[in-house]
């Protein structure tokens, strides 16, 4: 999609917020821009900043496992973040930084036009839906992104790695099953 390429090009030179100062490069997206399912996370970490793609570190490996457990290939998803530059020391992006960067994500999603969005973690959820309750309260229940696109909030894979209990994994898997149901896809027997 040419418009996405042009947008990514524009983002790569962006200096709208202070996060540009310490980035190695911007991190725009990976996956298929024609995908029906889009995952949105918080922002790049060290691995992503180094490689230029989102979710390529440990949390990304878990996300890939989750996608595989859903019976989907990498070509059936599109993955992006709320902010495109790595916050120093992996801190949470500040509200002003998110506000500066969000128009890029909104435009990105306008071009991809996914049928379903999964918000990974509380920061992504706040970015996509504005002021909302925490992820623990919001996960597992459908919301609408900009009043139109079904959005499922679930835990960020980094949280799952930090809290690898059966209960947390089961909650994420149950959220992803709802996503598969919405997409009209079969639900594989075994989860993450
Ligand atoms: Fe621009 Fe977003 Fe990077 Fe801030 S985080 S400099 S708004 S691309």
Half-sphere exposure of 157 (CA within 13 A, CB side): 22
Ligand 1 contacts (CB < 6 A) are 11, 14-17, 19-20, 26, 83-85, 97, 100-101
What is the distance in A from the centroid of ligand 1 to the CA of 20?
A: 6
Q: pLDDT-derived band of residue 190, with 50, 70 and 90 as boundaries? A: low
Each residue of 111-166: pLDDT tens digit?
999 999 999 999 999 999 997 899 999 999 999 999 999 999 999 999 999 999 99
Q: Which of 160, 110, 106 is nearest to 135 (CA)?
A: 160
Average pLDDT, rounded, for the chain: 96
Which of 101, 103, 107 is the pocket-test mutation for ligand 1 (most atoms within 8 Å of CB)? 101
pLDDT at residue 87 tops 80: yes
What is the distance in A from the centroid of ligand 1 to the CA of 185?
A: 35
What is the model's pTM? 0.97
């Amino acid at each position: 999609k040419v418009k996405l390429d042009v947008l990514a090009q524009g983002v790569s030179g962006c200096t709208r917020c202070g996060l540009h100062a310490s980035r190695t490069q911007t991190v725009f997206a990976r996956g298929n821009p024609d995908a029906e399912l889009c995952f949105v996370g918080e922002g790049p970490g060290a691995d992503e900043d180094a490689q230029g793609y989102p979710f390529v570190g440990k949390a990304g490996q878990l996300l890939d496992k989750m996608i595989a457990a859903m019976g989907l290939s990498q070509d059936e998803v599109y993955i992006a973040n709320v902010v495109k530059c790595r916050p120093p020391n992996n801190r949470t992006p500040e509200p002003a930084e998110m506000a500066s960067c969000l128009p890029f994500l909104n435009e990105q999603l306008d071009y991809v036009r996914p049928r379903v969005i999964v918000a990974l973690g509380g920061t992504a959820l706040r970015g996509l839906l504005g002021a909302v309750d925490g992820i623990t309260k919001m996960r597992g229940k459908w919301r609408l992104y900009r009043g139109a696109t079904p959005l499922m909030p679930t835990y960020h894979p980094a949280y799952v790695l930090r809290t690898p209990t059966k209960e947390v994994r089961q909650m994420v898997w149950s959220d992803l099953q709802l996503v598969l149901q919405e997409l009209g896809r079969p639900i594989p027997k075994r989860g993450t």
